[in-house]
Amino acid sequence: MGNAKQPDKKPFIAYVIGVIVIMLLLNTFLVPAIVRRNIKEVDYSTFLNMVANKQVEAVQLDSDYITFTDRSSPSNFYRTATFEDPQLVERLEKADCTFGRVVTETNPILAFILSWVLPLVFFYGIGIFLSRRLMSNMGEGFGGGNPMMSFGKSGAKKYVPSTTSIKFQDVAGEEEAKQLLQELVLYLHDPQKYADIGASCPKGALLVGPPGTGKTLLAKAVAGEAEVPFFSIAGSEFVEMFVGMGASKVRDLFSQAEKNAPCIVFIDEIDTIGKKRDSGALSTNDEREQTLNQLLTEMDGFDGSKGVIILAATNRPDVLDPALLRPGRFDRRIPVELPDLQGRIDILKVHAKKIRVAYNVNFETIAKTAAGASGADLANIVNEAALRAVRMGRKVVNQEDLQESIEVVIAGYQKKTRVLSEKEKLIVAYHEIGHALVAAKQSNSAPVQKITIIPRTSGALGYTLQVDEGDKYLMSKTEILEKIATFTGGRCAEELIFGSITTGASNDIEQATRLARAMITQYGMDDDFGMVALSTQNNIYLGGDSTLACSPETAKLIDDTVVRVVREQHDKAKKILEDNIGKLHQLAKYLYENETITGEEFMSILEK
């Protein structure tokens, strides 16, 4: 091993010099000022008058000054210069004063030690303590050197090829993204092949998609396949309290990347520093904007032929600055979407390799039930199934464990401590059967998979689980209306059987209203408004909140139409339940007695 780099002593020398200057100023100005602050200077004649009037309490005599106190206010000190006065002692005795002579000469060595040596030792100890404390808390900075001077270092984590063992085979469900990233790997392996034909590799690639889809995992897989150093840093780590520190970290990051080329630099959550700059007249040049400007400059002046590729990930591509996305910076935009049915099957199998699974587990059934789940959700489902198997005293995970773990992720754990009264239990049973019966009597609804009235930790007192046979990417107007009718089925059953309504339909109302409003404002499925966009969708990967983009008069018409659509489907659902009132009673009674029924049991009773 080579000699370790010696820490720079210049900062410590500057620290010592600063301490000496501060002590010099304190001894010259501050300490004498503090001593003089409570002593009032008077002339000798005033002193003699006060002695004659017996106003002086105590007197201290030295070679230069006479210090005395006022009898009426002993806390007030006075001082006057010493004069040759042979009658002074006699005057003090007549005035009944307490007096004495003070020797003011001090040992110069002791004075030097007290004024200089001890403070220097004290400050030196503080400096050593802070240096060691910062060393233990911060460790070596990304660029090495003294941690006390690590401001401006990027702090990126470096993974060398030997520690980055993730390969593309460890990432399932994102085949298109892996194909697009494979080209970057080939370029790092053989850049001359591309240079011969005159092609240049993209400087940067932006991974966009919902949370939990594996964007960071894909970036590590690229580094693992290319077998090059991998620098990882989060966008929030560039944000500092001190102006200019973020830009300094960007410079340091690109400087280290050039020294370690070929390599991959990965910036996670780049939207933290890459948001659109304010174009208003009152825009300010804040720290985040300086950091973004520095990032744009570094990417412009970066030589892509050296084999350094910049990867970034975000789930908010709509807020990124256009200058960051133009060709020459992040040339390639790679979507990392939620996995489809086959992708979910592959992801489940990858995570199932880490646990002991029964031979007869059907991953396709689990994948169908987990429609809309991300890769992180599926990993959590597999782990929850393993935990449940341990709780049940089994050594392998079976189909029931995986099925129950999906319900745990969707609705939470079973809340066994919440015991419903008999009446509430009966209301919940009719409510859930109302949903299932309306869904079963419509031609375009997904088949019922399970119905339960066991309370869950999410707050749900029961739920009806419907599972489509495959993934659906389009919905017709008829299917949307039938979904709204299914949402209203629970409330309709309460009205029909009990003649009153409860708070149990709050979530149903929210989903039905949202679906009806989207049908009108986003999908253009209403005859009165037609193909007119009446709302804009924000944060498509983070919930997809929509904002109305219309006049107040149009907004009122939209509200009226939403109410009309939901009411029409409510009446339709109520008519279905009235026509099948016997089955409603029969199914509700069976659910009340058993608490949970499967889709096969439900359809068997319904078709008899």
In CATH, what class is 38-105?
Answer: alpha beta
207 contacts 336 by C-beta, under 8 angstroms: yes
pLDDT at 15: 63
pLDDT at 160: 58
SS3 407: helix
**Confidence at 69, pLDDT banded by 50, 70, 90:** confident
**Confidence at 378, pLDDT banded by 50, 70, 90:** very high
pLDDT at 490: 95
pLDDT (tens digit, 9 = 90+) per residue, 342-377?
A: 999 999 999 999 999 998 899 999 998 888 888 999
Q: Using the predicted structure, report yes or no on whether residue 285 has a pLDDT greater than 80.
A: no
Average pLDDT over residues 455-466: 84
Lateral strand order in the sheet of 308-314: 157-159, 230-234, 263-268, 308-314, 204-208, 330-335
Q: Return the amino acid letter for 462.
A: G
366 contacts 348 by C-beta, under 8 angstroms: yes
pLDDT at 109: 64
pLDDT at 103: 46
pLDDT at 199: 80
Average pLDDT over residues 94-122: 66
Q: Using the predicted structure, report yes or no on whether residue 426 has a pLDDT greater than 90.
A: yes
Report whether the peptide linkage leading into residue 74 is cis, meaning its omega lies within 30 degrees of zero.
no
**Confidence at 573, pLDDT banded by 50, 70, 90:** very high
Domain boundaries for CATH 3.30.720.210 within the chain: 38-105
Q: Using the predicted structure, report yes or no on whether residue 407 has a pLDDT greater than 80.
A: yes
Weakest-pLDDT range from 17-21, 139-143, 455-459: 139-143
pLDDT at 485: 96
Weakest-pLDDT range from 219-223, 339-343, 569-573: 219-223
Q: Using the predicted structure, report yes or no on whether residue 213 has a pLDDT greater than 60.
A: yes
Q: Using the predicted structure, report yes or no on whether residue 61 has a pLDDT greater than 50.
A: yes
pLDDT at 562: 95
Q: What is the pTM of this model?
A: 0.70
pLDDT at 545: 74
Weakest-pLDDT range from 101-115, 263-277, 525-539: 101-115
Comparing 170 with 86, the larger pLDDT belongs to 170
Domain boundaries for CATH 3.40.50.300 within the chain: 157-277+286-335
**Confidence at 472, pLDDT banded by 50, 70, 90:** confident
Domain boundaries for CATH 1.20.58.760 within the chain: 422-607
pLDDT at 313: 92
pLDDT at 161: 55
CA 358 to chain centre: 37
- E strands present in 414-500: 448-452, 463-466
pLDDT at 437: 95
**Confidence at 291, pLDDT banded by 50, 70, 90:** confident
Domain boundaries for CATH 1.10.8.60 within the chain: 341-411
Average pLDDT over residues 216-239: 84
User: Cβ neighbours of residue 383 under 8 Å, at least 6 residues apart?
Assistant: 351, 355
Comparing 206 with 141, the larger pLDDT belongs to 206
What is the distance between the alpha carbons of residues 374 and 337, in angstroms, rounded to a whole number?
8
Q: What percent of the chain has a predicted confidence (pLDDT) above 70?
A: 81
What is the dihedral angle through the alpha carbons of 348, 352, 353, 356, rounded to the nearest 10 degrees? -170
Q: How far is CA 571 from CA 233, 518, 564, in A?
A: 56, 21, 11
pLDDT at 430: 95
pLDDT at 459: 77
For domain 422-607, which CATH number applies: 3.40.50.970, 1.20.58.760, 1.20.1560.10, 1.10.240.10? 1.20.58.760
Average pLDDT over residues 488-502: 94
pLDDT at 9: 55
Comparing 141 with 152, the larger pLDDT belongs to 152
For residue 432, give the nearest of 351, 486, 474, 480 by alpha carbon: 486
Residues annotated as catalytic are: 432
Q: Which CATH superfamily is domain 157-277+286-335 in?
A: P-loop containing nucleotide triphosphate hydrolases (3.40.50.300)
What is the distance between the alpha carbons of residues 151 and 141, in angstroms, rounded to a whole number?
9
Comparing 216 with 114, the larger pLDDT belongs to 216
pLDDT at 44: 78
Q: Within a 10 A sphere around the Cβ of 396, how many other Cβ atoms?
A: 13
110 contacts 101 by C-beta, under 8 angstroms: no
480 contacts 522 by C-beta, under 8 angstroms: no
The CA-to-CA distance between both ends of the chain, in Å, stands at: 82
What 3 state SS string does 143-209 have? CCCCHHHCCCCCCCEEECCCCCCCCHHHCCCCHHHHHHHHHHHHHHHCHHHHHHHCCCCCCEEEEEC
Weakest-pLDDT range from 149-163, 216-230, 315-329, 529-543: 149-163
Element holding 503 (H helix, E strand): none
Residues facing 330 on adjacent strands = 204
What is the distance between the alpha carbons of residues 497 and 423, in angstroms, rounded to a whole number?
12
**Confidence at 3, pLDDT banded by 50, 70, 90:** very low
**How much is the mean pLDDT over the chain?**
81
Average pLDDT over residues 585-596: 93
What is the dihedral angle through the alpha carbons of 509, 514, 515, 517, rounded to the nearest 10 degrees? 120
Q: What is the architecture, at CATH level 2, of domain 341-411?
A: Orthogonal Bundle (1.10)
Average pLDDT over residues 105-115: 60
